[in-house]
């Protein structure tokens, strides 16, 4: 009886994780330390409930009713191409995007706010056009680079020393890019891959019992170290952006004058601020209004956490004005903080900000964007063919006077609704539930790697769901999704063709 119950829990493990995560994020929106001024909270709550119900129904159908099998793919070619490409692409990425060398990451590790501001200013001022050519090359290799870490974890017991070295190249490349850009996404992506792939390899080991305990222990230890390192870097990055802004550096280092574009000078100035807490208190005193509430002698601004959506959209802000001269007060959301410490408010801002944007979008009438509006990239380039008026059909542009989708999150559901309306979004949840169930069963019970990687992509989508439609935000992610979905379809067709040929021979 107990084994049967555990088996059922294992079969529905992804569904339980996803539903719990989405419920947590929406629960923070309703009851968290930030008081969001949503215009139609009851309607949004009913909508989210229907979406979760459809997700459960789709997953249940996929787990119980679909009996399609897939064909295995050779994992080593994908791993080798992706790992080598990640190391090779690091150099042109550093030169084209940041006008720096990869080893400059060691210097920029001390001043992540300078790295971030310098990167978005460089993207804004770029007029060469070389970046777009490089984007095409990077998108071509993206399906391979994305598969490196999942395939490594899935085949941890088969890895050779050369492949461990390639894994180190991949991880160091991601770390360098994160430090050069001053963004969290590279580290967050690694953490999501680890968390999404770990259940697959664990249940594979439980089912087949072919992974030695020592190897499993080494894998778990490695994953734990990477996750804790990622969490530390995330908090350091937030501290840099919130409390060590470039204007503050200039103010507190009046004798140190840096010329425009001299990032080394600005980095040294920021690094000289050893006590971020005293700087934060001074900045709060200067930006505090009459609505501030004193706590232990320190003023607390009546506002929510910083605009966390803008930080991870830097590589798409080609036409936005750089915010390097904004004060801390200008970089926060105009909402009211009810209670809670910095970590609680920051987590709430990340996980629930998008629901406010979605609630505002629900007040607008629907005008379909016909399969283009789910992707900011496609929507942006549609102007060149369909004109400016077509882009204005999207919910995300209709609410731009109240909620800027380029700088704030508005959930993946809002982007999907651009194409199918909010009434059609629950059916997308049902389809995603069905796909997740199919891939989970094939990845764990049949050890199919293509299904495992598509499952990791689904987990990416669900993780970023409270923020945006992450899988179609850039050319890299869009090409990766299309490649692995097509490859998964090919493995299904190829497997059925082989089965038919065997039956004919018999």
pTM, two decimals, is: 0.81
Alpha helical stretches, state H, 73-111 = 75-98, 105-108
Distance of alpha carbon 9 from alpha carbon 26, whole angstroms? 24
Is 44's pLDDT higher than 90?
Answer: yes
Distance of alpha carbon 304 from alpha carbon 283, whole angstroms? 15
Distance of alpha carbon 141 from alpha carbon 364, whole angstroms? 39
In a domain, 474, yes or no: yes
Distance of alpha carbon 133 from alpha carbon 102, whole angstroms? 20
Q: Contact at 8 Å (CB) between 56 and 118?
A: no
Task: Identify the CA nearest to 32 among candidates 299, 347, 307.
Answer: 347
SS3 content of the chain, % helix, strand, coil (to 5): 70, 0, 25
Backbone angles phi, psi at 423, to 5 degrees: -70, -25
Give the whole-number percent of the chain exceeding pLDDT 70: 67
Distance of alpha carbon 374 from alpha carbon 201, whole angstroms? 32
Tell me the range of 180-184, 328-332, 335-339, 488-492 where mean pLDDT is highest.
Answer: 488-492
Task: Identify the CA nearest to 173 among candidates 86, 258, 251, 106.
Answer: 86
Q: Contact at 8 Å (CB) between 124 and 321?
A: yes
In a domain, 129, yes or no: yes
**Can you read off the two tokens belonging to residue 221?**
């230890």
Q: Contact at 8 Å (CB) between 226 and 152?
A: no
Q: Which residue segment(s) compose the domain that 463 sits in?
A: 1-244+402-500
CB atoms near residue 227 (< 10 Å): 16
Domain count, the chain: 1
Q: What is the pLDDT of residue 166?
A: 95
Backbone angles phi, psi at 295, to 5 degrees: -145, 115
Q: What is the pLDDT of residue 488?
A: 92
Q: What is the CA radius of gyration of the chain?
A: 24
Task: Identify the CA nearest to 75 among candidates 140, 151, 157, 150.
Answer: 151
In a domain, 262, yes or no: no
Task: Identify the CA nearest to 196 among candidates 150, 240, 139.
Answer: 150
The continuous run of DSSP H or E covering 377 comes out as helix 376-386
Is 454's pLDDT higher than 60?
Answer: yes
336 DSSP β-pair partners: 35
Distance of alpha carbon 103 from alpha carbon 203, whole angstroms? 40
Q: pLDDT for 165-222, tens place per residue?
A: 999 999 999 989 988 888 888 888 888 898 899 888 878 776 665 556 666 666 667 7
Is 479's pLDDT higher than 50?
Answer: yes
In a domain, 236, yes or no: yes
Q: pLDDT for 110-129, tens place per residue?
A: 777 777 777 777 766 665 56
In a domain, 210, yes or no: yes
Mean predicted confidence (pLDDT) in 5-26: 86
Is 253's pLDDT higher than 60?
Answer: no
In a domain, 350, yes or no: no
In a domain, 353, yes or no: no
Q: What is the pLDDT of residue 69?
A: 65
Backbone angles phi, psi at 298, to 5 degrees: -110, 130
Q: pLDDT for 280-292, tens place per residue?
A: 444 444 443 333 3
Distance of alpha carbon 244 from alpha carbon 129, whole angstroms? 32
**Can you read off the two tokens belonging to residue 404?**
């800027």
Distance of alpha carbon 19 from alpha carbon 84, whole angstroms? 36
Q: Contact at 8 Å (CB) between 27 and 45?
A: no
* Average confidence score pLDDT of the chain: 77
In a domain, 428, yes or no: yes
Mean predicted confidence (pLDDT) in 83-108: 88
Task: Identify the CA nearest to 154 among candidates 79, 236, 251.
Answer: 79
Counting beta carbons within 10 angstroms of the beta carbon of residue 327, is it exposed (0 to 12), middle (13 to 18) or buried (19 or more)? Answer: middle
35: helix, strand or coil: strand
Q: Calculate the dihedral angle through the C-alpha atoms of 259, 264, 270, 272, rounding to the nearest 10 degrees.
A: -110
Task: Identify the CA nearest to 34 among candidates 278, 336, 343, 248.
Answer: 336
């Amino acid at each position: 009886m107990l084994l049967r119950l555990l088996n059922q829990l294992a079969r529905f493990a992804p569904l339980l994780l996803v539903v719990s995560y989405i419920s947590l994020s929406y629960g923070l929106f309703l009851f968290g330390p930030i008081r969001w001024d949503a215009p139609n909270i009851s309607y949004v709550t009913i909508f989210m409930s229907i979406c979760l119900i459809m997700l459960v129904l789709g997953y249940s159908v996929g787990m119980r009713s679909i009996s399609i099998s897939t064909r295995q793919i050779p994992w080593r070619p994908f791993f080798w191409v992706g790992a080598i490409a990640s190391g090779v692409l690091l150099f042109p990425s550093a030169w084209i995007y940041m006008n720096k060398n990869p080893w400059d990451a060691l210097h920029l590790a001390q001043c992540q706010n300078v790295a971030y501001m310098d990167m978005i200013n460089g993207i804004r001022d770029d007029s060469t056009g070389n970046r777009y050519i490089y984007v095409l090359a990077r998108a071509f290799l993206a399906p391979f680079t994305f598969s490196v870490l999942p395939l490594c974890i899935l085949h941890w017991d088969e890895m050779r020393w050369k492949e461990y070295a390639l894994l180190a190249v991949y991880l160091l490349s991601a770390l360098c890019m994160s430090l050069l850009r001053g963004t969290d996404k590279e580290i967050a992506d690694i953490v999501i891959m680890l968390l999404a792939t770990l259940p697959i390899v664990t249940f594979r080991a439980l089912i087949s019992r072919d992974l030695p305990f020592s190897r499993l222990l080494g894998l778990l230890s490695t994953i734990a170290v990477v996750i804790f390192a990622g969490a530390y870097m995330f908090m350091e990055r937030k501290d840099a952006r919130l409390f060590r802004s470039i204007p503050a550096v200039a103010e507190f280092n009046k004798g140190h004058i840096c010329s425009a574009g001299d990032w080394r000078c600005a980095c040294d100035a920021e690094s000289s601020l050893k006590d971020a807490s005293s700087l934060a208190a001074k900045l709060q005193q200067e930006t505090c209004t009459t609505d501030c509430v004193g706590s232990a002698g320190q003023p607390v601004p009546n506002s929510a956490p910083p605009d966390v959506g803008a930080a991870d959209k830097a590589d798409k802000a080609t036409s936005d004005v750089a915010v390097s001269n904004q004060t801390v007060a200008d970089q926060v959301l105009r909402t009211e903080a009810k209670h809670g410490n910095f970590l609680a408010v920051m987590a709430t801002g990340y996980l629930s900000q998008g629901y406010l944007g979605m609630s505002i979008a629900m007040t607008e009438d629907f005008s379909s964007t016909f399969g283009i509006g789910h992707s900011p990239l496609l929507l942006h380039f549609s102007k060149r063919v369909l004109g400016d008026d077509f882009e204005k059909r999207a919910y995300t542009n209709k609410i731009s006077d109240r909620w800027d989708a380029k700088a704030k999150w508005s959930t993946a559901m809002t982007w999907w609704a651009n194409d199918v309306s909010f009434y059609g979004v629950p059916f997308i949840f049902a389809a995603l539930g069905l796909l997740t169930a199919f891939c989970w069963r094939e990845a764990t019970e049949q050890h199919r790697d293509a299904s495992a990687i598509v499952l990791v992509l689904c987990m990416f989508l669900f993780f970023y769901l409270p923020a945006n439609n992450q899988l179609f935000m850039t050319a890299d992610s869009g090409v990766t999704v299309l490649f692995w979905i097509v490859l998964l379809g090919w493995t299904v067709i190829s497997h059925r063709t082989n089965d038919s040929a065997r039956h004919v021979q018999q």
